[in-house]
Structure 1
Amino acid sequence: MLELSWPWFLLLLPLPFIMYFLPKAKPKGDGIWWGNTEQLVNHQDGKAIPKRPALRYACLLVSWILLIFAMTQPVWLGEPTKVTPSGRDLLIALDLSGSMQVTDMALNGQPANRLEAAKSVLSDFIQERRGDRIGIIVFGSKAYLQAPLSFDTKTINQLVQEAQIGFAGEQTAIGDAIGLGIKRLEDKPSDKKVLILMTDGANTAGRVQPQQAAAFAASQNVKIHTIGIGADSMIVQSFFGPKAINPSSDLDETLLKNIAAQTGGEYFRAKSTEDLQAIYQTLDALEPTPAEDIWQRPLTSLFHWLGLGSIIFLGLALLASKQLTLNSSFFHKRISRKGGQA
């Protein structure tokens, strides 16, 4: 089904015909004047100069029509499809601080940093959430909304994959991330507010204290599930040889447990990519809130195709006009040569 966003532009369609029937300007002086060079005739051969005004006018007319229809912003409405939402609005707060680049995870048997592991698991989780509205918050020294709540899980997943360490700063503002999540969920029903917070450190930045943010989240019926990511043992090379260290020594598990307990959520510890996958499978089992079906119709814009067609026909008209000009020049040369011989 075709739909025009700005149909009033169609009023411009008859403009070329109006211009055509307007009185034409008359030349001044005694000189001979031709309105069009195609009126010239080669009397020596008794044949008219090759003319292409009809082709030129036709191309100009088609170009004008396509341009006007492009200006109406036409869109093609596809067949309606049914989306059955589960009723869950999930906000995922992802830590992008500098510590997320620690390589203590593995993907497909290869070493990977924490963010790479988190994005890989999140990708599978988001793709399975068809019918849910998912939003993404990224935080470091500050918290930002990467993607608002949306049913478009494909776009949400793409935005997650584009997130990079340091985008939001090098520190960790857990309280600000929770505060932003509460703000984005404030207009939602009380039984649908869920925030999943993933971090590998402690609160080191931000204007809001995490405990205060958690208390406010509880008062607003926002359930927060917290995930502490990072291995508890890692072999590094030192001056004296290989040495085992705890790369998650900065993880504030006590804080994350308190936030989850205060808001009615759960705390999870992810020491490996497999742990992350298991955690998100658990989160995926949350009971949905029933909701009505939503009908959506895909929209396909036709503006660029019509605009391209208008440019092509305009070019053809210019090409026909150029050919006519070349023919006229050739005719004038022959007339001049004939006059010289006389």
Structure 2
Amino acid sequence: MITFLWPFAFLLLPLPFVLRYFLKPADKGLGGALKVPFFASLSRDLGGRADRISTSWWKFSAASLVWLLMVTAVARPAYVGPEVPLPADGRDIMMAIDLSGSMAEQDFAVGGRPSTRLSVVKDAADAFIESRKGDRVGLVLFSDRAYLQAPLTFDRQAVRDLLDQAEVGLTGQKTAIGDAIAVSLKRLKERPAEGRVLVLLTDGASNEGKMAPVQAAELAAKLGIRIYTIGVGAGPMAINTPVGRQMVNPSADLDESTLRKIAELTGGQYFRATDVNGLAQVYRAIDKLEPTGTDSVHVRPEVALYFWPAGLALLIAALAALIATVPTLIAQHPVHKEA
């Protein structure tokens, strides 16, 4: 809708009439009246009284309209749109997801069918991202090296789409946990100190990269960034082999001690997810530890319109000045008709 941000400006509308009433008329000069014998003839040449009244009337109307438009411009007309909610106290959450070769291990079951670790992680992380309303969410993917897949953004759907496109071994088969933390910190350190969180998920031990995981965690602690680590992979299980039934541990490579130390150094927590339900519970637990902001700020976008009445006033004033000048120009340069 259209509204006026300074409506009290309309109190200025009667100002010209008030000034005319209270101020003394301008001094017309000293001396008596000038008697012109041929006044009647001069009056006929310049137009009769009716013409003078008509001229005064349109000048008064033009001046009044210009004044009205100028006061309207001062009142700051604006188009105010509907309310738009903005997050008031959102967190900055970076998610680092392991894409090493072991994430293709099918030791999870969904609906009674074997499923890879990465596909289960995608589903759980997707639900987690969707629940973070009002938060900025970013995505880092890592294996042999770590890279930023999605910067911190309020567009959670875009982050979910990019996560869905991730594939095992996209950047190699090994695991660079330290580099994943470093890349995440590079983005998080630019954000306000409160509410900076990294959720790191892996199924193995760090065996690649330029920075050691604990060293990266110490840097995160100095920056005040919390890290929640998640170790994913099934626990020990019995399987049938050609030599009989044997116990195997699909998560033997998982370095839980390092993941636990990373979380402790930064004030976060370590979680272990051995199945689909366990992974979902981990994300729910992180939701409770890092609740989303409940209060939001509502703003109404404004589009200024003051230049329309101001521009129209300028145009009318220019036209009035031009029209008032025309008779003088004609009088100074009369057109002579040839006999």
- TM range, normalised to the smaller chain? 0.5 to 0.7
2:251 equivalent to 1:248:
yes
Is residue 86–residue 296 contact of structure 2 (8 Å, CA) maintained in 1?
A: no
- In structure 1, the partner of 2:277 is 274
Paired residue secondary structure (2:254):
coil
Is residue 85–residue 130 contact of structure 1 (8 Å, CA) maintained in 2?
A: no
Question: Alpha-carbon deviations, 1:24-64, whole Å to 9, x = none?
Answer: xxxxxxxxxxxxxxxxxxxxxxxxxxxxxxxxxxxxxxxxx
Counterpart among 261, 264, 272 of residue 261 in structure 1: 264
Following superposition, the deviation at residue 198 of structure 1 comes to 0.2
Question: Alpha-carbon deviations, 1:254-302, whole Å to 9, x = none?
Answer: 00000000000000000011011101011112144688637698xxxxx
Question: Alpha-carbon deviations, 1:96-152, whole Å to 9, x = none?
Answer: 000001111122332111101100111111111121110000000000111111111
Counterpart among 188, 199, 202 of residue 199 in structure 1: 202
Counterpart among 138, 146, 150 of residue 147 in structure 1: 150
Long gaps (5+) in structure 1: 1-77, 298-342
- In structure 1, the partner of 2:328 is none
Q: 1:151 to 1:292 in 2, by over 3 A?
A: same
- In structure 1, the partner of 2:184 is 181
Paired residue secondary structure (2:204):
coil
2:104 equivalent to 1:101:
yes
Paired residue secondary structure (1:293):
strand
Q: CA–CA distance in 1 between the matches of 2:221 and 2:242?
A: 49
Q: Which letter maps to 1:87?
A: G
Q: 1:241 to 1:294 in 2, by over 3 A?
A: farther
- In structure 2, the partner of 1:91 is 94
- In structure 2, the partner of 1:55 is none
- In structure 1, the partner of 2:122 is 119
Q: 1:195 to 1:294 in 2, by over 3 A?
A: farther
Q: 1:287 to 1:169 in 2, by over 3 A?
A: same
Q: Which letter maps to 1:196?
A: V
Is residue 87–residue 291 contact of structure 1 (8 Å, CA) maintained in 2?
A: no
Paired residue secondary structure (2:133):
coil
Long gaps (5+) in structure 2: 1-80, 302-339
Which has the higher Rg, Structure 1 or Structure 2?
2
Q: CA–CA distance in 2 between the matches of 1:262 and 1:289?
A: 25
Matches within 5 A, 1:218-257: 218-257=221-260
Paired residue secondary structure (1:280):
helix
- In structure 2, the partner of 1:293 is 297
Q: CA–CA distance in 2 between the matches of 1:121 and 1:288?
A: 18
Q: CA–CA distance in 2 between the matches of 1:147 and 1:123?
A: 14
Q: Which moved more, 1:286-295 or 1:268-277?
A: 286-295
Question: Alignment length, in residue pairs?
Answer: 221
C-alpha RMSD of the superposition: 2.2
What TM-score comes out, normalization by structure 2 length? 0.61
